Structure 1
Amino acid sequence: MTVIVELTVPSEAFELGRILSIEGPGRVTLETMVPLGGRPTPFVRVRHDVRDEFVQSVRKHPTVSDIRPLNTHDGETLYALEWDPSEDTLFRTILEDDIVLLEAAGSADRWGFELRFPSHETLSEFQEFYLEQNLDVTIDRIYNPTKPDAGPWYGLTSPQRETLAHAVEHGYYSLPRGISTKELGVEFDISDQAVTERLRRGITTLVSNTISQLEDEP
């Protein structure tokens, strides 16, 4: 049975957190980790108002060989990071143990992760790892993405449900796009970045409690 864990880690506690550390109120979102050329390539998103300082800071790290922009949208730029993960024991453990990174975002101080473990045994092994490494990991939530526990809304919170429904109804996922994250932010009195994270988390929760269940069915 799979298990999903939400946790936080200080930015200074792992290599990628130190690389992607951003000063001030800025926030970095780790979109995904794609294996390219035998190495996991992080795709990260940052706001335009902090991107220059962010890129300069990232390039200074000795394990980084390149960082390049891929696209821009709604005031944010998506970058591909080429780095040597051998020094990052946290991410190396995640990759080697088949732990799925569902969501990750960080600031100058802390990173928040949502991870899907293939079993409770894998989670126990991961907990033993960070305790042995003296990593300051804080577990915020642990739950099984099962249909009975998901409730009538498949685990979605009320804000996630309302934002997703509004986004779909007003053409956020249409081509051409009928509404922007900034306009959605005005509707719900939150920032456009918060809208993006709410939509991403909502979709992740919805898929985890519906489509992903097929993996556990006999």
Structure 2
Amino acid sequence: MSTIAEMELPAQEFALRTTLEHVPDAEFDVVRVAAHDSKHVLPYIWATADDFEELDDALRDDPSVDDLSLLEDLGDERLYRMNWVDQIRVVIHILIEEEATILNLRGKESRWRLRILFPNRDALSTTYEFCEESGLSLDVRNIYEMSDTRHGLFGLTEEQHETLMMALESGYYDVPRDATADDLADSLHISHQAISERLRRGHRSLVKNALAVGPGDGRD
């Protein structure tokens, strides 16, 4: 069964270490990453910073970066393409050795958070062992087992998935609403407080795992 793991690494043990040291307010959100061989990783990265000139200088001087290209400049954030050529052992292992998929990868302050879809639980265990043997401080924060449905992809429990789908199908999210929280509670034979908590936790999981995965996002 496929397994999703949320993991953290110290910034000094990963790519862009020197950039984060010199531009501590910078934040990186990797939207796509591929490894074509054992020496290069090609990420597309959205970045924010108070001073983009300072960020560009730091990226050009970063020993883990090669072939830096600015693809989009939206004023308050920029999209870069680059090669990572140093401190990428764990990414190479995940993508090539374990044939896993990086769902989210975000760097902020002194940490990187990775959200990985592994083909099975053994691949996660092997990755953890690889990091221990390589002297990398991998911290596994959460583990989700995929089920026959897709709700595990977003960290939802079965009850949260059932409640959110019922809310959608009954018109709870319509404007104006065709169903209230009390209607959902009656259908599921639970209290108003219980339905409210399920909805809040389900919404939090969706936002956290689909939109805002990164170090310090949400509370574990």
Short-chain TM bin:
0.5 to 0.7
Give the C-alpha shift of residue 17 in structure 1: 4.0
Contact 1:21 1:108 in 2 (8 A): yes
- Tell me, yes or no, if structure 1 residue 29 matches structure 2 residue 29: yes
Question: 1:201: which partner in 2?
Answer: 209
- Tell me, yes or no, if structure 1 residue 154 matches structure 2 residue 158: no
Contact 2:16 2:64 in 1 (8 A): no
Question: 2:7: which partner in 1?
Answer: 7
CA–CA separation in structure 1 for the residues paired with 2:37 and 2:141: 34
Question: 1:77: which partner in 2?
Answer: 78
Question: 1:100: which partner in 2?
Answer: 101
Give the C-alpha shift of residue 12 in structure 1: 0.4
User: CA 1:60/1:134 → structure 2, altered by over 3 Å: closer, same or farther?
Assistant: same
Report the TM-score, using the length of structure 1 for normalisation: 0.64
User: CA 1:88/1:203 → structure 2, altered by over 3 Å: closer, same or farther?
Assistant: closer
Gaps of 5+ in 2: 176-205, 214-220
Structure 1 residues 129-155: Cα deviation after superposition (integer angstroms, max 9, x where no partner): 011112111111001122387325439
Structure 1 residues 66-113: Cα deviation after superposition (integer angstroms, max 9, x where no partner): 21111134721100012425x521111112121110001112311111
CA–CA separation in structure 2 for the residues paired with 1:94 and 1:81: 19
CA–CA separation in structure 1 for the residues paired with 2:140 and 2:162: 19
- Tell me, yes or no, if structure 1 residue 89 matches structure 2 residue 97: no
CA–CA separation in structure 1 for the residues paired with 2:53 and 2:75: 17
CA RMSD after TM alignment = 3.6
CA–CA separation in structure 2 for the residues paired with 1:151 and 1:203: 20
Matched position secondary structure for 1:103: strand
Question: 1:193: which partner in 2?
Answer: none
CA–CA separation in structure 1 for the residues paired with 2:144 and 2:50: 36
CA–CA separation in structure 2 for the residues paired with 1:101 and 1:156: 28
Question: 1:141: which partner in 2?
Answer: 142
Give the C-alpha shift of residue 44 in structure 1: 0.9
Contact 1:20 1:28 in 2 (8 A): no
- Tell me, yes or no, if structure 1 residue 43 matches structure 2 residue 44: yes
CA–CA separation in structure 1 for the residues paired with 2:24 and 2:70: 22
- Structure 2 residue identity aligned to 1:57: A
Contact 2:35 2:92 in 1 (8 A): no
User: CA 1:45/1:13 → structure 2, altered by over 3 Å: closer, same or farther?
Assistant: same
- Structure 2 residue identity aligned to 1:103: N
User: CA 1:89/1:200 → structure 2, altered by over 3 Å: closer, same or farther?
Assistant: same
Give the C-alpha shift of residue 20 in structure 1: 4.8
CA–CA separation in structure 2 for the residues paired with 1:203 and 1:53: 27
Question: 1:53: which partner in 2?
Answer: 54
Contact 2:41 2:92 in 1 (8 A): no
User: CA 1:34/1:51 → structure 2, altered by over 3 Å: closer, same or farther?
Assistant: farther
Q: Report % sequence identity.
A: 20
